[in-house]
Chain A
């Protein structure tokens, strides 16, 4: 089983596919969950407090806006843990953790800097592209150590 960083970091489709093929998705929802269940911090809505942008200095200098550093403080630890990554470009827009274009550029850069297997592709527009999209992701995930077959195989018939 490999830890697979996904981008967009909140994607349902990528999260599902990674888990479906037997790996552990590294996604923003997990980070949000960690943040909001951290005891002792009361900084709603997502318990990011001024310490997080300071922690973000690990990834970007102080002249980088606080919102970028705060978001990087969320995404950075995921990338650090990643053993593989799937990056889908051109996705529909998304707010919040994915709402800042500068952060998103940096997050992708940080993932690409790592010496790990990375699959990069575009979001599909047509059925044919969708099929190719799923096949590429499935093949990539199956090439990673500890992969499972799509364990949903055959049960519908």
Chain B
């Protein structure tokens, strides 16, 4: 959210969903949307369309609410309902709902330039879970002009206050000149430490910094502390940072960010996210799993990748994706004499397989595929991802600083012309 938030018009988000009212999460969706200065709308259509929507859309399902969902999507695509963004949602574990949700998401993405996300909820879904996703949706709808920025100018800083690590960069005239990377212990203190490191490396005084951008879990707290010009969720910031660092700002791209606690998969068009998924799937599919594996192998996390590329994952029997039971499988294998290389390879494989199965199905993979986030530095991870996707995976320079670079770059749009 930026400072000029309250003077902007409300973004209209079409909620096309099956089940939120009956799952008790309708009010959670509403409160998340309200906090973003946005408004939910339900596209109007002629109810008689429902008689033939199965044939018209092409997917014949039994549930009336899913027919309604498809008819509303059609009204949006045909321009009968004017909306800024679309949120497609259905119940978690419903096969019928998942089929419709994914096809509708794809249908809207392919036929309009309206940003769309899909989500499957349970009764435990809360407004705070939805907030980052919906914030990204409203940002794309509201601030295309901001996201159109392709170069950093002046002297700016970016701080990415993540769940596991805090990263900071200082940039000058389109170059990263200072870095800081520390584990997140206390949000503010860790941010200060990372920021100071970046300033020291850059050799600049903090008074000279012209604009600051923050992102990540702690973005609001850190943004307030440094009076940041921009505090923005990590989906738009990271996708912008990724295409910037990979020098792929024009055309399509897919950004995959494997973080310490959750992962993002984002289909990007000209640097703007069009479709994305954000999974707190499970800790077993996160950087944390790799960290624990490294600890068990008695190596530094930075060495895990070089081990993994030498190993063969099939030599290890993994019975579970779970961070507890998966690690147990690895430990058992070690006890039976498995090589650390094979174990490292199996850990990378497990993480990527899970992301592939549970998350990458929610977006359309378009080349180039840009892998970012701390885990991208573990060599086994991009290589395994290439095996799954059968395409080249690019890891841009400074890929672990992606959020900080994106925030720093975007914040330079707020530098006042002298």
Contacts and interface: CB of A to CB of B under 8 A. Distances in A.
- Check whether chain A touches chain B (CB < 8 angstroms): yes
Interface of A: 42-46, 48-54, 63-71, 74, 93-102
B69 to A, nearest CB: 10
Given A99-B18, A99-B64, A99-B65, A66 B123 contact: yes
A99 B91 CA distance: 13
Interface of B: 18-27, 30, 50, 61-68, 90-94, 96-97, 121-124
Nearest to B23: A66
B25 A65 contact: no
Q: By CB atoms of chain A within 10 A, which of B27, B68, B96 has the most?
A: B27
A46 B26 CA distance: 10
A101 B65 CA distance: 9
B93 A63 contact: yes
B94 A65 contact: yes
- The 4 A-B pairs of least Cβ separation, nearest first, read A67-B19, A99-B65, A65-B91, A101-B62
A100 B92 contact: no
A63 B20 CA distance: 17
A46 B91 CA distance: 18
B405 to A, nearest CB: 39
B22 A43 contact: no
Contacts of A53: 22-24, 122-123
B89 to A, nearest CB: 10
B21 A50 contact: no
28 contacts: A42-B27, A43-B27, A44-B26, A44-B30, A48-B23, A48-B26, A50-B25, A52-B22, A52-B24, A53-B24, A53-B122, A66-B122, A67-B18, A67-B22, A67-B23, A68-B94, A70-B21, A70-B24, A71-B22, A93-B64, A95-B64, A96-B21, A97-B22, A99-B18, A100-B18, A101-B62, A101-B96, A102-B63
A86 B90 CA distance: 30
A56 B64 CA distance: 21
B171 to A, nearest CB: 44
A71 B21 CA distance: 9
Contacts of B24: 43, 48-53, 66, 70
Given A69-B123, A99-B64, 16 more contacts: A44-B27, A44-B30, A50-B23, A50-B24, A53-B122, A64-B93, A65-B23, A65-B91, A66-B121, A70-B21, A70-B23, A95-B64, A95-B65, A97-B22, A99-B68, A100-B22
Contacts of A67: 18-20, 22-23, 90-91, 94, 97
A97 B22 CA distance: 8
A113 B133 CA distance: 43
A48 B123 CA distance: 10
A54 B123 contact: yes
Nearest to B67: A93
B127 to A, nearest CB: 12
Given A46-B21, A52-B24, A102-B94, A70 B67 contact: no
A92 B124 CA distance: 32
A51 to B, nearest CB: 7
Contacts of A69: 123
Contacts of A48: 21-24, 26
Contacts of A65: 19, 23, 91-94, 97
Contacts of A101: 61-64, 96
A52 B66 CA distance: 21
Contacts of A94: 64
A66 B64 CA distance: 17
Contacts of B121: 66
B50 A93 contact: yes
Contacts of B25: 50, 66
Given A100-B65, A102-B63, A66 B91 contact: yes
Contacts of B63: 99-102
A46 B22 CA distance: 8
B123 A102 contact: no
A135 to B, nearest CB: 29
Q: By CB atoms of chain B within 10 A, which of A42, A48, A54, A97 has the most?
A: A48
Nearest to B93: A65
Q: By CB atoms of chain B within 10 A, which of A43, A52, A66 has the most?
A: A66
A71 to B, nearest CB: 5
A74 B50 CA distance: 25
A153 B67 CA distance: 41
Q: By CB atoms of chain B within 10 A, which of A45, A51, A74, A99 has the most?
A: A99
A94 B22 CA distance: 15
A96 B122 contact: no
Contact of A50 (B64, B97, B123): B123
A47 B301 CA distance: 49
Q: By CB atoms of chain B within 10 A, which of A98, A100, A102 has the most?
A: A100
